[in-house]
Amino acid sequence: MGLEEILAEYVFGIKFDDLPQEPVDTTKNLILTILGTTIAGATAEGCEAVVHQVKQWGGRDEATILIHGGKVPACNAAFANSVMARALDFCDGMVPGIHLGSSSIPVALAIAEFTGGCSGKEFLAALVAGTEVAARLNLSAPAYNGFDPTGVCGIFATAAIAGKLLRMNGNQMLHAMALALNRSGGSFQSNIDGSLAVRVIQGFVSQGGITCAQLAQRGITGPKNFLEGIYGYFHLYAKDEYDPQTVVDGLGTRFKMNNFLFKKYPSCGGTLASTDAILELMTKDKLGPEDVDRIDIRVTPAVYNLTGHPFKIGENPKVSAQFSIRYCVANALLRRRPELKHFDEPFVRDPKLMEIVKKIQVVPDAALRERDHRTAEMRITTKDGRISHTVVDVPRGYPENPLTEEEHQERFQSCIRYASKSLPQENIEKIVSWVKHLESVQDVRTFVPLLLSAPEVT
């Protein structure tokens, strides 16, 4: 049996009662994270435009556009909800930059509505199965070579999740993921240029995954050798440099999806180590913006290519700031604790912050990869000639340096406080309880009304 068939059979066969507690707990944290970022991101740049567009596309009333309200075809509801979930870049992540939750949760909710409901146990099992497949197919930064891992690899997760909740058989599941190969793509240039395409790619992953699953259920076939074929996934994206054993080793007992990053700060994962570093030095050496003459930062080449470039506000200030080490370090130095509002345009354009940005230099250093691909080294020179220095290898939020349960709850509440379309406090409390006890929920659809806060966008 080839890798493709093994993974398809794994997704088809997985049951909630077979799951260890750790991936279930990880998935619950993922759900709470994405619900928070969806609520907070509902009116971020471009999101309302996307909502208007999917409503204009029209079609059957299959699934709900969260927060804004209204029903559209499931693939388009998931598209809009995923764009909102990713908009603030405060969602989950996994090295080297794949974002799965902002697609997997909206897809699962949309298909739960489309199929007429599913239990919390089915919902969790599907999320674990699809997420684990993508985690095992995830490549290294050099292999992606500038392709966006979310667009390239995340599509396999959404196709699997949709297929699982559509209750497809093993052969249909194989073809759902096989079709997904042909929807795999996306570029990190979107991030570097500060474009809204970053969040739209997230929507494409959701829309495409559902489309692939629905077509496979109708009997449309994809390339069965979509992973190991001569022009399959591993040839196209990994240049045939892969170990098939790592894809299936411990499948069902050892979960790579537990390697999620849950961000402490609302910016790209490539900025987090530098943010930790500046906050550490501010506390240790009692530094403020008035003390600093120069900040020198060294990061790995992959991190530099994505977030180390000179800061330019550009057409979309929020995105530019989210993907800039220089902005994130200046923001932490000036405002002490990074918050969602600090990435709004008025804060980004603050002249005081822009003066600090000028003092920050970021350079790539390949030697840092020997320590860790996430490593950031920071050296601050003060106006009176003192030197402060630190190295951060693993930022807060990674599994080796995880957030506490209280910090997870605080992240969610910070999203609620930031949201411009607020939900009733009663709904917030029910959402938290629903996620905590999800395996006891009889029908996931009962949860959707809690995520509606405003009259429909027309």
My answer on whether 259 and 284 are in the same domain is: no
Q: Of 454, 409, 450, whose CA–CA distance to 28 is shortest?
A: 409
My answer on whether 235 and 91 are in the same domain is: yes
Q: What is the pLDDT of residues 67-122, one digit of tens each?
A: 999 999 999 999 999 999 999 999 999 999 999 999 999 999 999 999 999 999 99
- The CATH number for 220's domain is 1.10.4100.10
CA quadruple 246, 247, 249, 253: dihedral sign: positive
The three-state secondary structure class of 370 is: helix
Rounded CA Rg of the chain: 21
My answer on whether 12 and 153 are in the same domain is: yes
Q: Is residue 47, in this structure, part of any structural domain at all? A: yes
Q: Is residue 457, in this structure, part of any structural domain at all? A: no
My answer on whether 256 and 340 are in the same domain is: no
- The CATH number for 354's domain is 3.30.1330.120
CA 153/CA 133 separation, integer angstroms:
9
Q: Which of 392, 419, 438 is the last residue of a domain?
A: 392
My answer on whether 276 and 371 are in the same domain is: yes
CB 49 within 8 A of CB 100: no
Domain extent for 288:
269-392
CB 361 within 8 A of CB 296: yes
pLDDT of residue 456: 46
Q: Is residue 458, in this structure, part of any structural domain at all? A: no
CA quadruple 73, 76, 82, 83: dihedral sign: negative
My answer on whether 237 and 293 are in the same domain is: no
Token look-up 């494409």 returns 204
Q: What is the pLDDT of residues 8-66, one digit of tens each?
A: 999 999 999 999 999 999 999 999 999 999 999 999 999 999 999 999 999 999 999 99
If one counts the domains in the chain, the total is 2
Give, for all 458 residues of the chain, the pLDDT tens digit. 899 999 999 999 999 999 999 999 999 999 999 999 999 999 999 999 999 999 999 999 999 999 999 999 999 999 999 999 999 999 999 999 999 999 999 999 999 999 999 999 999 999 999 999 999 999 998 999 999 999 999 999 999 999 999 999 999 999 999 999 999 999 999 999 999 999 999 999 999 999 999 999 999 999 999 999 999 999 999 999 999 999 999 999 999 999 999 999 999 999 999 999 999 999 999 999 999 999 999 999 999 999 999 999 989 999 999 999 999 999 999 999 999 999 999 999 999 999 999 999 999 999 999 999 999 999 999 999 999 999 999 999 999 999 999 999 999 999 999 999 889 999 999 999 999 999 999 999 999 999 998 454 44
The three-state secondary structure class of 187 is: strand
My answer on whether 33 and 173 are in the same domain is: yes
My answer on whether 377 and 254 are in the same domain is: no
Joined together, the tokens standing for residue 205 give: 């992953």
pTM for the whole thing?
A: 0.94
Q: Is residue 366, in this structure, part of any structural domain at all? A: yes
Q: Is residue 320, in this structure, part of any structural domain at all? A: yes
